[in-house]
Amino acid sequence: MATVHFTLDGKAVTAEADEDQPLLYLLRDELGLNNPHFGCGLAQCGACTVHLDGEPLRSCVAPASIVEGKTVTTIRGLGTPEHPHPVQQAWADEQVPQCGYCVNGWIMTAAALLRKNPKASDAELRAGLAGLKCRCGTHLSIMRAIKRAQARLA
């Protein structure tokens, strides 16, 4: 076991983790978060996406030790109910969720993508979101929400 010190959603955190324990397990099992989700466990679906120092990271395959001294943001820390992130607000405005399981990956990835490139073309958006899965097939609504958020950020 090793002790890791990091910032989680704006708060200093200290936690114990096995050396090879995935960050996802630390967040969910040790720190009690209900998001990010476990999807595939292979970094293929995106349900486990968090931001590590502002960059999207698939937490199911990242060792917990990677967060030492860094900042982790989950969907909970992206915005608040009173002041949602533009992507979160667009998700609600477009009524995107069906089952909602994939929302974490799409919102966290889109937020990071639009922060880096707020004027991303449709092709750049599709490339940046490649690999994310929505089993309910709401991809058209997802893209409408991302474009709506993009317009707010421009």
User: What is the per-residue pLDDT across 62-120, written as a single tens digit (0 to 9) for each?
Assistant: 999 999 999 999 999 999 999 999 999 999 999 998 898 999 999 999 999 999 999 99
Task: Please state, for a pLDDT cut of 70, what percent of the chain lies above it.
Answer: 100
Structural contact between residues 13 and 25, judged by C-beta atoms closer than 8 angstroms = no
Residue 55 parent element (H or E): strand 55-58
pLDDT at 145: 98
Interatomic CA distance for residues 110 and 17, integer angstroms: 29
Domain architecture of the chain: domains with CATH = 2-77 (3.10.20.30), 79-153 (1.10.150.120)
pLDDT at 19: 79
Mean pLDDT of the chain: 96
Name the β-bridge partners of 7.
Answer: 12, 71
pLDDT at 17: 94
pLDDT at 154: 82
Interatomic CA distance for residues 135 and 152, integer angstroms: 27
Question: Peptide bond before 56: cis, by omega within 30 degrees of 0?
Answer: no
Q: Confidence band (pLDDT; 50, 70, 90) for 7?
A: very high
Interatomic CA distance for residues 16 and 119, integer angstroms: 41
The arithmetic mean of pLDDT across residues 130-151, rounded, is 94
pLDDT at 97: 84
Specify the 3-state DSSP secondary structure of 89: helix
Tell me the per-residue pLDDT of 12-25, one tens digit each, with 9 for 90 and over: 999 999 978 999 99
Residue 141 parent element (H or E): helix 139-153
The arithmetic mean of pLDDT across residues 48-61, rounded, is 97
The tokens describing 122, both together, are 């449709």
Compute how many other C-beta atoms are within 10 angstroms of the C-beta atom of residue 8: 21
